Amino acid sequence: MSDKNSTPTPATDFIRNIISQDLDSGKHQHIVTRFPPEPNGQLHIGHAKSICLNFGVANDFDGKCFMRFDDTNPVKEDNEYVEGILRDVRWLGFDWGENLTHASDYFEQLYLFAEELIQKGKAYVESQNADEIRELRGTLTEPGKNSPFRERSVVDNLTLFRKMRDGEFDDGTHVLRAKIDMASPNINLRDPVLYRIRKISHQRTADQWCIYPLYDFTHGLSDALEGVTHSLCTLEFEDHRPLYEWILAEVSAPCLPRQIEFSRLNLRYTVLSKRRLIQLVEERHVDGWDDPRMLTLSGLRRRGYPPSAIRLFCKRIGISKSENNIEMSVLEDSAREELDKTAPRAMAVLRPLKVVITNYPEDKTEEFEPSRHPKNPDMGTRKVPFSREIYIDHDDFRIDPPAKYFRLAPGKEVRLRFAYVIRCEEVIYDSDGKVRELHCTYDQATRSGTKAEGRKVKGIIHWVSIQHSVPVEVRLYDRLFVNPSPGSDDPGGNFLNDLNPDSIETVTSCRVEPGLLKAKPADVYQFERVGYFCVDSKESRPEALVFNRTVTLRDTWAKLEQENSGQN
């Protein structure tokens, strides 16, 4: 046992507690885990929980974690998904080192394990079609029935299985099944299929194979071949554990990994089923896997979520066996907490309203130099130009303000952040009776940083100089669904009926500080008083910047839900 393992990491969940006990007892000298995604889609926030657990456990106990692709179904797999998954895991902050593997690396060994089962009389070639197999499988309350091919001889089974490998049969004509117990109360033990014929080229092995093992057969044996000590799975695999253990016990496996289940991530206002995510993408309800409204890791990255926020979220929700529904605010608050530490500040006006400061010289420009981050002086300062004509946000002005409204209104004063106090003297309307611009005066003695700045003005608003500001496009992203449990209120369970029609709002009139001209794709800023925004990595260009809203400064949904609850 290593020096690090001689002083175990304090257990923070039941899995780490088990591992600590296994190390203390001497059952294991070192820890090996694995993260085994299927390359048939992109990773989502639920996968992040498993990634952080498997790689985190290995890091905590000075072990190693295999990055292993379960590439056993060439019908749905693509190398594009492989590259995307590797990119996502690396972005999340984890490194597999030399431990990148694929189930296809073990195809020959898996095949030999299958022959071993046949030779022991523990597997047979089934010649019924899929519907016939399903019909004899039974139900949760009724036992299954034996296949008419269950008692084939070992010689016949080996001959047929080898012919399957040699490509002598068409897809669907034969499968290899384990011979366990058709009356088992656990349906997974009712002679499960281990191999099927798929005459389709594989992304890694090309046309070398035309039979492929199923996940339940591949998973445990791949674990054993890699020396995995603890195989960590979500709870839906709990009923599969007896099969996992049966296969390992019936073949000459090099070791016996222990499967441990934990609850999967259930997050309100989203769907994490890969089937549903694929449907959203293929039916173009979203703009691809990396649409910023998708809780895929690529979507979260494009939206501006830092990997530290995802890791913090996974730490906060913890690991247990209890099913739960996590509030979206937990994820959003994790992003706010992390971005507050790192995001430089800037001023941006999303819905510009022109303000003319009538007593400010027409040809004058001055610069203010606020900090780039109020809590991190090491980030330096930025230059913000000020001139006679500025933009403020339409939401910061009211003709007839309500009580305790501290922003701008006729005859009222407000402080321009980092600049001066201004007073609204006149409102200019357009031909439709809408406010077109404001004429204000400023108090020269109230420049920020001077003694006069201390005179009391309750309202502080942001602004940009019209002459110097930069036009950008801003995309205000919101939750993709309006129902906390999409599809739950529909008799047919159609989750698409709960899509949020306002999940994206594109604002083309936004103006930002001129310093943001230097912004690069994936840079995240806090637009003061507005929220956190990321330069879009896909569609933004230096001459036409696009900003995606990562998250608001406050949890606006919590207030909305509270109001709706009060109405009910």
Residues 6 or more apart whose CB falls under 8 angstroms from that of 493 comprise 487
Tell the burial category of 437 from Cβ atoms under 10 Å away from its Cβ (0-12, 13-18, 19+): middle
As a residue count, the chain comes to 568
Is residue 559 annotated as part of the catalytic site, yes or no? no
Alpha-carbon distance of 439 to 153, in angstroms, equals 96
Alpha-carbon distance of 286 to 294, in angstroms, equals 8
The strand ranges marked E within 303-420 are: 345-346, 348-349, 352-357, 366-368, 384-386, 389-393, 413-416
Opening angle at CA 40, ends 38 and 45, nearest 5: 70
460-461 sheet: strands from edge to edge: 460-461, 413-416, 421-429, 435-443, 352-357, 389-393, 464-465
Q: Which of 87, 274, 407, 447 is catalytic?
A: 274
Alpha-carbon distance of 152 to 155, in angstroms, equals 8
DSSP state for residue 560 in the 8-state scheme: H
- Is the Cβ–Cβ distance between 326 and 270 less than 8 Å? no
Amino acid of residue 345: R
Q: Name the one residue in this structure whose structure tokens are 């106990």.
A: 61
* Per-residue tokens: 311: 């890791």
| SS3 of residue 426 by DSSP | strand
> How is the chain split among helix, strand and coil, in percent rounded to 5?
35, 25, 45
Q: Name the one residue in this structure whose structure tokens are 């998904």.
A: 81
Q: Name the one residue in this structure whose structure tokens are 């009356």.
A: 183
Residue 473's nearest CA partner among 509, 513, 521, 525 is 509
Alpha-carbon distance of 307 to 93, in angstroms, equals 7
Is residue 38 annotated as part of the catalytic site, yes or no? yes
Alpha-carbon distance of 546 to 521, in angstroms, equals 9
Q: Which of 38, 116, 238, 389 is catalytic?
A: 38
Is residue 274 annotated as part of the catalytic site, yes or no? yes
The DSSP-derived string for 302-332 is: HHT--HHHHHHHHHHH---SS---B-HHHHH
Strand partners, 371: 381
Pairing of strands 413-416, 470-477: unpaired
Q: Which of 165, 264, 398, 529 is catalytic?
A: 264
Alpha-carbon distance of 275 to 473, in angstroms, equals 33
Q: Name the one residue in this structure whose structure tokens are 């519907």.
A: 131
- Is the Cβ–Cβ distance between 197 and 164 less than 8 Å? yes
**Catalytic positions:** 38, 264, 274
